[in-house]
Amino acid sequence: MAQPATKLDELVGREYPHGFVTEVETDTVPRGLDEDVIRLISRKKDEPAFMLEWRLAAFRAWQKMAEPHWAHLRIAPIDYQDIIYYSAPKQRGEGPKSLDEVDPELLKTYEKLGVPLHERERLAGVAVDAVFDSVSVGTTFQAKLAEMGIVFGSFSEAVRKHPELVRRYLGSVVPYTDNFFAALNAAVFTDGSFCYIPPGVRCPMELSTYFRINAKETGQFERTLIIADEGAYVSYLEGCTAPMRDENQLHAAVVELVAHERAHIKYSTVQNWYPGDREGKGGIYNFVTKRGDCRGANSRISWTQVETGSAITWKYPSVLLRGDNAVGEFYSVALTNNWQQADTGTKMIHIGRNTRSTIVSKGISAGHGQNTYRGLSKVLKGAEGARSHSECDSLLLGDTSGAHTFPYIEVRNPTATVEHEASTSRIGEDQLFYCRQRGISPEDAVSMIVNGFCKDVLKELPMEFAVEAQKLLGVSLEGSVG
């Protein structure tokens, strides 16, 4: 009388749907890294002298730094001389003036990924910048945004057209001396998105960058810089995918946000880099430094992230709360399945008076996935009346996965209030049975339970991406509880 055992871990094992490779001719620099490679990259991008100087300074700093090591990450050594630091789809002559001139193969790639750059009407209300390996391949809605004084496009373009803005803000939140990967990024970053919202302007649409790693054995080092001037508002979303490859690929990005007085930046990420196969082979090493600077009084920066991809994720989107009454928020869902590892969290640094921070973190571990929350709430001496509240919940599926929580709290001002709550629960066989006994398939039941667990974070995402994220959680978990 054996019953068909639909165990949760038989439900996983669905193939990564974005794992295809695009055949395009590429322009690639020799593997390895030295000052000549950096000069070559800078020359290819036709950069002004200050950029090259900055890159070289970063490179020299990086050479003196040691790679960080983490207690809870299992990681194969990375040979930094065996990586290709620049790969771009080959262009004939100048480079595309408009989307109509972009290589159709590339447009097709984004089409397949569900990011149709060409059919603008399908992305109504969202302006997209698409980054393919090392370079931006096209930006939509640029002209319309320009009418309002909004600068949005690739980083390279901003360096050419707005060098004064780049020079003023680049590295002002994440200096190249910040950490090993931030230094490496500063030395070799090839593209990314740049955005400037002038004073008093509310950006009328979601701005979005779609990152795609395609080439083999390349690293992707993009850099994003967003500035919201006084009283400005912008909501920004990044999405990412990569082909399935047996080797690990390195992704070391830097994101800098600057919010001036009364400005509000909402930054949402749906990260779905290739996570490796079921045995833990391949996948992206995702080492990212993201930091926001609430520079002005009453400014606000909100990070929302849904992290389902990558073999290893290491990122701590942080906020420096410098202006009085500034608000920092961090809403995170991190899901690890099979052999994925995530070490993520945030740092909220309270500097100004009456600054507030809210942290909501939901970690889900399935298979052999390991999920670590690491967060710092720090209140400096001058941060009179600062308040910080964090809530970290972990959900385990099956009994081979792990969840770890490391909250660090440092308070140097006696008027501050800092609270931290944490919980760990296991997805109940009883919850699953209850749903199934109402006719719901095990896949749908798991996805429903997990989405319920993440609800407080998902509701922070812009509507259209919340739906995407929900689907993604379902897919990433298929076949996963025991």
Partner 1 sequence: MDNVRRPQPLLQVEGLHASVDGKEILRGIDLTVNAGEVHAIMGPNGSGKSTLAQVLAGRESFSVTAGGARFLGHDLLSLAPEERAREGLVLGFQYPVEIPGVSNVYLLKAAVNAVRRHRGLAELDAMEFLKLIREKMQLVEMPDELLYRSVNEGFSGGEKKRNEILQMALLEPRLAILDETDSGLDIDALQVVAEGINALRGPGRAIVLVTHYQRLLGYVQPDFVHVLAHGRIVKSGGKELALELERRGYGWLEEAPAAPAREAEARAR
User: How far, in Å, CA of 72 to CA of 436, rounded?
Assistant: 35
Q: Tell me how far, at minimum, the Cβ of 433 lies from partner 1, in Å.
A: 6
Contacts of 126 (CB under 8 A, 6+ apart): 205, 206, 207, 208, 237, 464
Q: How far is the CB of 340 from partner 1 (least distance, A)?
A: 23
- In the three-class reduction of DSSP (H, G, I as helix; E, B as strand; rest coil), residue 34 is classed as coil
Q: Phi, psi (5° rounding) for residue 448?
A: -65, -45
381 with 350: CB under 8 angstroms?
no
Which residue's CB is nearer to partner 1, number 5 or number 49? 5
State the Cα–Cα distance between residues 144 and 337, nearest whole angstrom: 41
> H or E stretch including 109?
helix 104-112
Q: Is 312 in the site for partner 1 (CB under 8 A)?
A: no
148: Cα separation from own chain's centroid: 27
The b/e string for 236-273 (b: 16+ C-beta within 10 A; e otherwise) is bbbbbbbbbbeebbbbbbbbbbbbbbbbbbbbbbbbbb
Interface with partner 1 in residues 437-476 (CB under 8 A): 437-442, 444, 448-449, 451-456
Closest to partner 1 by CB, 25 or 444: 444
- Of residues 136-165, those binding partner 1 (CB under 8 A): none
Using the rule CB under 8 A, give the single segment among 18-26, 108-116, 375-383, 422-430 that binds partner 1.
422-430
**Minimum CB distance to partner 1 smaller for 172 or for 358:** 358
Tell the smallest beta-carbon distance from residue 425 to partner 1 (Å). 9
Q: Least CB distance from residue 361 to partner 1, whole Å? A: 15
Overall residue count recorded for the chain in this entry: 482
Residue 306 CB, nearest approach to partner 1 (Å)? 15
The smaller minimum CB distance to partner 1, of residues 311 and 445, is found at 445
Q: Are 477 and 12 in contact (CB under 8 A)?
A: yes
Tokens of 414: 């006696």
Q: Map residues 423-442 to x or -, x wherever contact with partner 1 holds by CB under 8 A.
A: -----xxxx-xxxxxxxxxx
Q: Which of 1, 66, 71, 124 binds partner 1 (CB under 8 A)?
A: 1
Between 454 and 477, CB nearer to partner 1:
454
Taking the least distance from each CB to partner 1, the nearer of 93 and 439 is 439
Question: Which amino acid, 406?
Answer: F
Compare residues 226 and 472 and give the one whose CB is closer to partner 1. 472
* Closest distance to partner 1 from the beta carbon of 427 (Å): 10
Radius of gyration from C-alpha coordinates of the chain? 22
d(CA 340, CA 279): 10
Q: Minimum CB separation from partner 1 for residue 332, in Å? A: 15
Nearer to partner 1 (CB atom), residue 70 or residue 433:
433
Considering the complex, state which of residue 3 and residue 81 has its C-beta at the smaller distance from partner 1. 3
131 within 8 A of 192, measured Cβ to Cβ:
yes
Annotate 428-460 with b (16+ C-beta within 10 A) or e (fewer).
eeebbeebeeeeeebbebbbbbbbebbeebbeb
- Total number of residues that touch partner 1 (CB under 8 A): 28
Phi, psi of 405 (to 5 degrees): -130, 125
Residues with Cβ within 8 Å of 353's Cβ and at least 6 positions away in sequence, in order, are 324, 325, 382, 383, 384, 385, 386
Report the Cα–Cα distance between both ends of the chain, in Å, rounded.
21
**What's the min distance (Å) between Cβ of 5 and partner 1?**
6
Let me know the angle formed at the C-alpha of 466 by 408 and 240, rounded to the nearest 5 degrees. Answer: 75
Q: Please report the sign of the dihedral spanned by the C-alpha atoms of residue 197, residue 239, residue 312, residue 182.
A: negative
In angstroms, give the least distance from the CB of 375 to partner 1: 21
DSSP bridge partners of 236 = 207, 267
Q: CB of 434: closest distance to partner 1 in angstroms?
A: 4
Q: What is the b/e burial string over 372-394, where b = at least 16 CB atoms within 10 angstroms of the residue's CB?
A: bbbbbbbbbeebbbbbbbbebbb
Nearer to partner 1, 24 or 440 (CB): 440
Closest to partner 1 by CB, 386 vs 454, is: 454
Q: Is 20 in the site for partner 1 (CB under 8 A)?
A: no
Q: Under a CB-based contact definition with an 8 Å cutoff, are residues 268 and 231 in contact?
A: no
Least distance in angstroms from the C-beta of 388 to partner 1: 24
Residue 5 touches partner 1, criterion: CB under 8 A:
yes
Residues of this chain, 81-120, that bind partner 1 according to CB under 8 A: none
Nearer to partner 1, 286 or 332 (CB): 332
Query: Whole-number minimum distance, CB 305 to partner 1, in Å?
Result: 18
Which residues are at the interface with partner 1 (CB under 8 A)?
A: 1, 3-6, 428-431, 433-442, 444, 448-449, 451-456
